[in-house]
Structures are given as structure tokens and as C-alpha cells.
Amino acid sequence: MAPGGLSGYRPMLFVAMENFVELIYFLTALLFILGLKRMSSPNTARSGVIWAGIAMVAATLVTFFLPNLHNQGLMIVAIVIGTVVAWIAAKRVQMTDMPQMVAIYNGMGGGAAGAIAAVELLRGEFAEALGLKLLAILGALIGSVSFTGSLIAFAKLQGLMSSRPIQFPAQKLVNAAVGVGAILLAIWVLFSQSGLPILAFFLLALGFGVLMTLPIGGGDMPVVISLYNAFTGLAVGFEGFAIGNAALIVAGTVVGAAGTLLTLLMAKAMNRSLWSVLVGGFGVEQEAGEVKGSLKPIDLEDAAVMLAYASKVIFVPGYGMAVAQAQHKLREVADVLEAKGIEVKYAIHPVAGRMPGHMNVLLAEAGVAYDKLYDLEDINPEFPQADVAVVIGANDVVNPAAHRKGSPLYGMPILDVDKAKNAIVIKRGQGKGFAGVENELFFADNTRMLYGDAQSVLGQLVQSLKKL
């Protein structure tokens, strides 16, 4: 036996175990990055998710090999409960409800980061390390805001509360006061060992997340979901630095960076500054000026004839298609048209639906080939050559008012449906979009309105087309 007996052997074993854990963390970091890279392409996205999932399982399991780890029993119970709940929820969730599932999972990540910080701060773990304590406090603040903000986003998307902006007198002043109060308490916590300011700090941080999200309308939800995703990543990364966990540092940094980039891209796609999103109010009824023309309905048979004698048709799906779960019927219509030799393409706006890629996922679920889905920049030049553009439940993303100064939508990149030779809009009623702006496309001379539930209307179109 080596000199020192077991007392010398145990530290060597601990060092070996720590090195083993760090090695696995390094490998999981590579898998996270490679998985994220593969998610950038529809053809490899599924395998990217699997790779990242394997990395997360490996990082979780290897953590049990860390020396001096406590509460293993509670950790196992939490993992089992979380796994069962997540598995059942993922199996049962409808594709149309995927945005709110993403929102709630974002929140859980932020809440977990906040909980880690709360435990470490209350235990006084950073008494002699002011820098680490500052990182823990930053993670706690961002994670808490992400947690409650994501809960409100989930409630709005799920219909548990109004998706319209919720506003009250002096709201911005109240929000600013709560935010500043949370920051001041964070400074107090940084230089204090008392538990009272820590609890007050968390209460204000959690409250600020609620207040920050209430005035944000449903039209901004794609940006909000991405923003809270970035918040959660940053919070996890800060906590990883604070407690010295490499897996949390890498995972949090990757998620934070990807979420930040996606947030900026989504805001740009809507011509919305991030500040205007956070201040809120998008979704409040606004007037965009007088709309000329009138709504011109079309019956089902005439719509079928227009489609049957077209040479090129572009479908433009929106959130209304998702609500009606009409993606399968839309693909059936496209199949019938293609069987007649008609060219069919799908135009996808970056923020169509309630989260980035929402329409892509729904159409992929219906079996639509990826090579038929075209982004805004690629499909817009083709609208003038399209005999018919069919809008299914989309609104603001096809509104030509975005080209006119003075409109609340001015500058927002849209799909140029108004430039098609003919446009058919499938819509339940005559309501406005999330921006509260009348859609000038609906009143255009070359547009016809086909009213009804999208799934029912498309199903009837299939039958009518087959008879022609």
C-alpha cells in the first residue's frame, strides 16, 4: 500500500473521479455544439436533437460520480419525476401547442438556475468570493425573470389568460420601480450575509418577470420565447461559473448565445426593436389609416376552378392553419393540384405562427417535403408569376400596409401575396391580426375571401378539385 495508507489513497481516487467527470463534461460539450449545428438543417435536425439529448443524459449521470456529492436520493427522485412528467407531456402535446411547451420548458430552466442560486446564497457559500457571488446573483435575477415571464407567456399561449397586452395606469413606472428595486436589493445581497434581503430580492425578481410579460401581446410571442430562452441559458451559464460546473457553463453559454441570436433575428423579421417588444403594447388596437376597397367573398366551387386552371400556386400558411389543424388537408389539396401538373410551393414567413419554425414543423408533420418550403427572401420574387396565392390563416405577415409609412407595421418584411395574379384568403371571419391593423390585402381587387374553418374548407376543396 502506498505511504499514508487509505488517507493518501482516497484523495488520489477523488482526483481521478473529478478528472473523469470533467472528461465526460468535455465530451458532452462537444455533443451539445455538434447537435446544435445539426439542428440548423431540416435534414439533420432530428439527429441533432438526439445528440444533444444523449449529451444531457451523460452529463446528468456522470454528475453522480463527483466526490462529496450530497442528497443523491432526492436527486434521483427529482430526475424520475421530471422524466415521467416530461415524457407523458411530450407524447400528448399537439403540434399546435408546441410553442407553449417550449415556453414552459424555458421557464423551468430559468427557475432551476434561480433555485440553485437561492440555495447557495442562503447557505453563505460565497462569503469569501465576491466575484462568484456576483455571478450567482446575476444568474438568480435573470433566471427568476425567465421563470415567471415564461409562465405568463405559457398562460397567454395556452389561452389561460388573454393574449392581448394587459396594461394598467402608470404601468411603465411600476415596472421600472420593481426592476430598479430588484437591482438595488441585488447589490445589498452582494455585500450582506443576511437572509432577509435575499428573499426580498427573489420576490421582486419574480414579480418583475410577471410585470415585464403582461404588456407583451401575442404578436410578439416568437420574440419573447426566444428572449426567455436566451435568459435561461445566461442564467444557467452564470450559475455554472459560480459553482464551478463545466457542463452548466457550456450548456448555458451555447443556449444563451443561440437564443440571443434567434431573438435578434426574430425582432428583425418583424421590424421590431427588442426595446419595443419589452415595453409592450404590440397587439393593441390601432388605426393604420383608411382602407380602400371592399371585401369580396368567393364560393368554394369558384375557388376550386381558379386553382384547377392555374399553372402555379403558392400556399401561405399562418397561425389560423395551426389552430384549425389543417396542415394535413392542405397537403391533400397540394397533392391533387400536383397530380394535375400544377406547380405548388409553400411560402414561410419567419414569424408565421407563434414560434420560429412553427409552420415548418406542422407541414413536415403532414408529410410536406422540405424542398417545397421557401423562406421569404426566396419566394417573394416568385409571387408575380403565381396564378393563385392561397393564404391560410395568415394576417399581419401578408399585410401590404407594411410598405406604407404611418402604418404600425411599416418596415416589417412581409410575403408579397398582393403581387400574385390572384389571391384567395381562407379565414374564419373578418377580424384583424395581432397588430390590430386592418389588412389591406383583403380589400385588394385581386383578392377573394373564402370564409370558414380552414380544415373544413380545405377538405371540401379537395372534393371539388377531384371532380374537375
Write out pLDDT tens, residues 341-397: 999 999 998 877 766 777 888 888 888 888 889 988 899 999 999 999 999 988 888
Position 429 scores a pLDDT of 66
- All cell numbers assigned to 198: 435575499
- Taking the CA atoms of 10, 14, 15 and 20 in sequence, report the sign of the dihedral they define: positive
- CA 330 and chain centroid, separation: 24
Cα distance between residue 119 and residue 417, in whole Å: 54
CB 230 within 8 A of CB 109: no
* Residues with a known catalytic role: 396
Rounded to two decimals, the pTM is: 0.77
Position 2 scores a pLDDT of 45
Fold of 300-467: Rossmann fold (3.40.50)
Task: Burial-class residue 185 by CB neighbours within 10 Å (0-12, 13-18, 19+).
Answer: buried
Average pLDDT over residues 304-313: 92
> Reduced to 3 states, what is the DSSP secondary structure of residue 450?
strand
**Residue position matching grid coordinates 404600425:** 408
Q: Flag the least confident range among 118-127, 157-166, 278-287, 388-397.
A: 278-287
Element (H, E) at 142: helix 130-158
How many CB atoms within 10 Å of residue 170? 9
- Taking the CA atoms of 88, 92, 98 and 103 in sequence, report the sign of the dihedral they define: negative
Cα distance between residue 466 and residue 468, in whole Å: 6
Identify residue 237 by its one-letter amino acid code: G
Position 433 scores a pLDDT of 55
Q: Is the pLDDT of residue 439 over 80?
A: yes
Task: Burial-class residue 168 by CB neighbours within 10 Å (0-12, 13-18, 19+).
Answer: exposed
Element (H, E) at 344: strand 343-348
**Nearest CA to 212 among 281, 110, 261, 109?**
281
**Nearest CA to 396 among 354, 447, 432?**
432
Average pLDDT over residues 315-341: 90
Q: Which residue has the higher pLDDT, 201 or 129?
A: 201
**130-158 and 221-243 are packed helices; what angle lies between their axes, rounded to 10 degrees?**
150
Distances (CA, A) of 322 to 35, 91, 434, 436: 27, 18, 15, 20
Give residue 76's pLDDT band: very low, low, confident or very high (50, 70, 90). very high
Cα distance between residue 105 and residue 456, in whole Å: 33
183 φψ region: left (φ > 0), alpha (ψ -120 to 50), beta (else): alpha
Cβ contacts of 11 within 8 Å, gap of 6 or more:
none
Residue ranges covered by each domain of the chain: 5-279, 300-467
Across the chain, mean pLDDT equals 84
Q: In what order do the strands lie in the sheet with 373-375?
A: 373-375, 343-348, 312-317, 388-392, 423-427, 447-451
Q: Which residue has the higher pLDDT, 37 or 204?
A: 204
Element (H, E) at 191: helix 171-191
- All cell numbers assigned to 3: 505511504
Position 284 scores a pLDDT of 46
Position 312 scores a pLDDT of 94
Cβ contacts of 382 within 8 Å, gap of 6 or more:
312, 314, 345, 374
Average pLDDT over residues 295-315: 91
